[in-house]
Amino acid sequence: MAINLELPKKLLVTVDQAHQAAANIFRPVSRKYDLREHDYPIELDTLASLYDGLTETGQAGAGADGGRKQPQKELPEGAVANGGNMAACLNVLETSWGDVGLVLSMPYQGLGNAAISAVATDEQLESFGKVWAAMAITEPGFGSDSAAVSTTAVLDGDEYVINGEKIYVTAGSRATHIVVWATVDKSAGRAAIKSFVVPREHPGVTIERLEHKLGIKVSDTAQIRFENCRIPKENLLGSPEVDTKKGFGGVMQTFDNTRPMVAAMAVGVTRAALEEIRRLLEEAGVEIDYDKPAQSQHAAAAEFIRLESDFEGAYLLMLRAAWMADNKEPNSKEASMSKAKAGRTVVDVTTRAVELAGTLGYSEHLLLEKWARDSKILDIFEGTQQIQNLVIARRVLNKTSAELK
């Protein structure tokens, strides 16, 4: 598999527009909303209009169909595609450089949108392709084990009746819709877990509370209760059949799309921290020389080079996972590799940046301490570090989830 490591020209406009939004909208208000937890950032409404415009011009834009309904040219044999997944990852990389909490609050760009894009039928995209969707997986009784879903969806005539409770739902009180993971048959195990699109303002849907968090404070993280919530059976994403041979693969396909996006968020925050610490080191007279061995340089310079090499590795793994998704290659292993590497890297880099900056790093004069707080969630949600390593091991060793726990 050969990948050209230069970004395709058609995506450079997306990268530039996203960076301009990050530099001129996100970064200037980053501290303000960090100190005003749960306040809705009205600046994001401007971006919602921008993404609608991108959709109209044929670029990856608002909603789940941003990456699914782009005009597809007939490619010659051996040619490669750089489509919606790559565009989405580059977009969130640049905007996360500005503020990852604001990225998680952007209208129409929710993780639920990626879930809809991953598994919705073409008919469902007509209904849900333009909504702003949060994703509800985690419950009070489990964290990383997504197969332990206990929320139920019982078919009653032409409707599913959903009962259960979800926690840590990113954008749960702001998104217009929620993609809910629920089981249609507890006796059938993980194969019966399906995802459903539920309007947020709907009978039986209650926002119980918003969480107070270590980081990404501008992003609302909700606990949501579903009590006899009735939705049309057409709101079940993908196939309603319980295929025990396919197992958990249907809903888990969602993660093959969202994990590279979370990796891209981590890469964006990492780059922001590296740029800031490099500026501080250079102002302090520390020279970073790539032609000298590490042991011959200032300790801070040697440490910076180490951190930068980890950043490059995370960036390339993210590109690879997104590229494989666009070219219809199975990328479950690579998606987990990108997420695992980027999650480790962003925590390491932002923490070390705070240390290298000394008192400035620990104060609110700079955004370094905020990035260090924000970074931890990027190593946790969409599957913890340990879960990613488990997925990678299963793929490398060709083991099932039952064989390798």
Q: Going by C-beta distance under 8 Å and a sequence separation of 6 or more, which residues neighbour residue 8?
A: 82, 86
Distance between CA 264 and CA 65 in Å, rounded? Answer: 20
Distance between CA 310 and CA 342 in Å, rounded? Answer: 8
Helix (H) or strand (E) holding 358: none
Distance between CA 322 and CA 401 in Å, rounded? Answer: 24
- Eight-class DSSP state of 159: E
Q: Going by C-beta distance under 8 Å and a sequence separation of 6 or more, which residues neighbour residue 19?
A: 94, 97
List the catalytic residue out of 94, 303, 334, 382: 382
What is the number of other CB atoms lying within 10 angstroms of the CB of residue 35? 11
Distance between CA 166 and CA 164 in Å, rounded? Answer: 7
- State whether the Cα torsion 316-318-324-330 is positive or negative: positive
Q: Going by C-beta distance under 8 Å and a sequence separation of 6 or more, which residues neighbour residue 315?
A: 267
Buried b (16+ CB within 10 A) or exposed e, 107-127: bbbbbbbbbbbbbbeeebbee
Q: Output the CA–CA distances (angstroms, integers) from residue 348 to 151, 153, 221, 270, 276, in the order listed.
A: 36, 41, 24, 9, 15
Q: Is 355 a catalytic residue?
A: no
Query: Catalytic site residues?
Result: 382
